[in-house]
């Protein structure tokens, strides 16, 4: 069951950015939105399994389990193909990242990467 107002953020850099944003915007911190932070991929996956968030945000490169491995675990191992995922990358070019996601999706059978077209 998905927790409607819960977001999991995986990655040290993203975690710091979210903490800063929440500290600078009290209305966000006081909202009913629950943000769970994890600096490492394996911990993020454990939090995901325990809470089934409405949104998962991950860095492409994260300690322990990278963002693609985390997405694969959520989509394939957990059978969750509905939870939206946002991937952040500070390395490489956008086209390289999309190509990595396309290659990974071909090997996992997923067809929704880089675009929201065809989504209902």
Domain boundaries, the chain: 3-108
The neighbouring-strand residues paired with 86 are 57
Neighbours of 67 (CB within 10 A): 27
What pLDDT, on the 0 to 100 scale, is given for residue 101?
64
CA-to-CA separations, 97 to 18, 43, 77, 110, 119, in angstroms, rounded: 22, 23, 23, 16, 21
Neighbours of 54 (CB within 10 A): 17
What pLDDT, on the 0 to 100 scale, is given for residue 115?
42
pTM of the predicted structure, to 2 decimals: 0.71
List alpha helices for 40-117, DSSP H.
Answer: 41-51, 67-72, 94-108
The neighbouring-strand residues paired with 56 are 8, 85
Topology of domain 3-108 in CATH is Rossmann fold (3.40.50)
Residues of the chain with pLDDT under 70: 1-4, 29, 90-120
């Amino acid at each position: 069951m998905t927790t409607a107002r819960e977001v999991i953020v995986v990655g040290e850099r993203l975690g710091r950015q979210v903490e800063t944003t929440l500290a600078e915007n009290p209305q966000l911190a006081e909202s009913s939105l629950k943000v769970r932070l994890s600096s490492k991929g394996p911990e993020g996956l454990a939090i995901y399994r325990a809470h089934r968030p409405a949104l998962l945000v991950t860095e492409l490169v994260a300690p322990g389990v990278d963002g693609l491995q985390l997405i694969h675990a959520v989509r394939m191992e957990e059978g969750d193909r509905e939870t939206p995922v946002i991937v952040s990358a500070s390395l490489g070019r956008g086209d390289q990242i999309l190509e990595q996601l396309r290659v990974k999706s071909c090997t996992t059978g997923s067809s929704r990467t880089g675009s929201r077209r065809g989504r209902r």
